[in-house]
Amino acid sequence: MSNTFDLLQPYLDKDMALGTALTLINWDMETLAPSGGMEYTAKAVGILAVESFHTLINEDVNNILTKLETEEEQAQLDEIQKAIVKKLRKDYNDLKVIPADEYKAYSELQATATNVWAEAKQNNDYNKFAPVLKRLIDFQRKFIKYRQKDESNLYDILLDDYEPGFTVEMLDRFFNQLKETIVPLVQKVSMNKEKVDNSFISKHYDIEKQKEFCNWISEYVGFDLKRGVIAESAHPFTTNLHNHDVRITNHFLENNLESAIFSVIHETGHALYEMQIDDKLTQTVLGSGTSMGAHESQSRFYENNIGKSIDFWIPIYKRLQETFSEQLQDVSLEDFIRGINKSSTSLIRTEADELTYCLHIIIRYEIEKMIFNNEIEVEDLPKVWNQKYEEYLGITPTSDTVGVLQDIHWACGNYGYFASYAVGSAVAAQIHSHIKKVMPFEQYLREGKLEPIREFLKENVHKYGKLKSTNEILKDMMGEELDAKYFTDYLVEKYTKLYELN
């Protein structure tokens, strides 16, 4: 045992406690808090956030870390302690190089930017948002220059924040492979779009009944209500205090059967990841999903690879049909499956289906890369955005509201984030291909046995928290790092069959 590590513990504990408080307040603000109180509560959040920042980023912690990095101290640390020291050092170095006054100015800008963005989006007024976006980007450019250690691509530094270890070089290859397969496949599907009818989805569905079914299906998939709750919010999300208190939200639309069902399955996938992290790691800086992409891989695996398959619905479709007997009595299981898998090009990323989704991501990735390579001016973003939509999806946004202004990410200062969504889909496909080889996966789904699948994910992905990177997880599981071919093969097989393209 290391006595020096004991000196670190009070700082870690305080960071954990403040993090727990902030998570709880944020959860409350998204779900139950009255809108009139936000401004006042935000003040408390601001103070706690600053306190939380300084808990681990200070000279005392730096000195303890320096000591813990010596050879003799390292020899006394266990695997988890070593990983904690490594993670803290990385965070410390990333944040320490940014001058405090610039960070403060940036945080203040960030706090107002989302309001400016929301207004600009509502009024289709890109020019109103452009100056704020330009300032946010300038700050980010400065910050990554401070963080830059060698001649690496500046955009690499941003990608690494969300997908540790991933670089422009890797992602260029990855996205090119996706583009080569998906663009022509989308064109073929578009020419055959009348082959799939999903009109039953937009019938009228009673919201109380939807809620009841969604809560049931979340538990069916594995959500443990003794360690979790389900609430409602404008946009579904997952959060957690630790692995014994994981919270998800859902939203309900009267004229849309699939939105709530697949949102809740998606969030349950995120929740299972957090619930199944090892007890030894929870409430430490390693105690959550290893990356954005790894997290999305779990939600998408449940939502798409499992939730949109016929095997999953065989034991439970009857229950859905009985819940909505009037709307679904003439919809056979096969028609239901075809309907929920229908693909059509659309302008909005969050409404995109499994096939077209990655094209939305590729567009954002390419534009972000241009921004941080200084190849584009902020004023020209709408033009380039629209050109790329025309090129990859064959549709042109009718306004900036449904074009360049649609996502909140850039207003929050999150650059390098989008790529993770596509990485998630690809990791999910890779796990899917592997899991079918090591267990009778489809048979388990047909028998309603989801536990062995959960257990597999726990043992191979979830329990490690941040102890392993996304690629380490894949390599240890199946001997290979991320490879786009699993995802492209999956899409080609699925949509060729669905649209009878041969």
Closest CB to Zn ion among residues 299, 356: 299
Q: Residue 22 corresponds to which tokens in the numbers above?
A: 């902030």
- In degrees rounded to 5, what are phi and psi of residue 13? -65, -45
Q: How far is the CB of 319 from Zn ion (least distance, A)?
A: 25
Residue 245: strand pairing partners = 242
CA 493 to the chain's CA centroid = 25
x-marked contacts with Zn ion along 385-414 as a string, rule CB under 5 A: ------------------------------
Site for Zn ion in 280-299 (CB under 5 A): 299
Q: How far apart are CA 392 and CA 387, in angstroms?
A: 9
Closest CB to Zn ion among residues 236, 413: 236
- Cβ count within 10 A of residue 125: 15
Q: How far apart are CA 49 and CA 110, in angstroms?
A: 14
Closest CB to Zn ion among residues 268, 299: 299
Q: Residue 443 corresponds to which tokens in the numbers above?
A: 């048979």
Confirm whether 351 is a catalytic residue: no
Active-site residue, selected from the candidate residues 267, 296, 303, 368: 267
Closest CB to Zn ion among residues 299, 345: 299
Q: How far is the CB of 291 from Zn ion (least distance, A)?
A: 13
Q: How far apart are CA 100 and CA 388, in angstroms?
A: 38
- Residue 263 as a binder of Zn ion (CB under 5 A): the answer is no
DSSP, collapsed to helix, strand or coil, labels residue 150 as coil
Helix pair 381-393, 357-372: axis angle to 10 deg: 150
Site for Zn ion in 297-326 (CB under 5 A): 299
Whole-number Cα distances in Å, 395 to 358, 363, 381: 15, 13, 17
Q: How far is the CB of 370 from Zn ion (least distance, A)?
A: 26
Q: How far is the CB of 404 from Zn ion (least distance, A)?
A: 22
Closest CB to Zn ion among residues 77, 231: 231
Q: How far apart are CA 500 and CA 502, in angstroms?
A: 6
Q: How far is the CB of 75 from Zn ion (least distance, A)?
A: 40
Q: How far apart are CA 382 and CA 367, in angstroms?
A: 10
Closest CB to Zn ion among residues 140, 299: 299
Q: How far is the CB of 299 from Zn ion (least distance, A)?
A: 4
Contact (Cβ atoms closer than 8 angstroms) between residue 290 and residue 466: yes
Closest CB to Zn ion among residues 156, 354: 354
In the sheet with 245-250, reading across from the earlier edge strand, the strands are 228-232, 245-250, 238-242
- Overall size of the chain counted in residues: 502
Whole-number Cα distances in Å, 499 to 192, 193, 262, 490: 7, 8, 22, 14
The sign of the CA dihedral 425, 427, 430, 431 is negative
Which helix (H) or strand (E) element contains residue 427? Answer: helix 419-438
Q: How far is the CB of 300 from Zn ion (least distance, A)?
A: 7
Q: Residue 289 corresponds to which tokens in the numbers above?
A: 């999903």
Binding-site ranges for Zn ion (CB under 5 A):
299
**What is the set of active-site residues?**
267
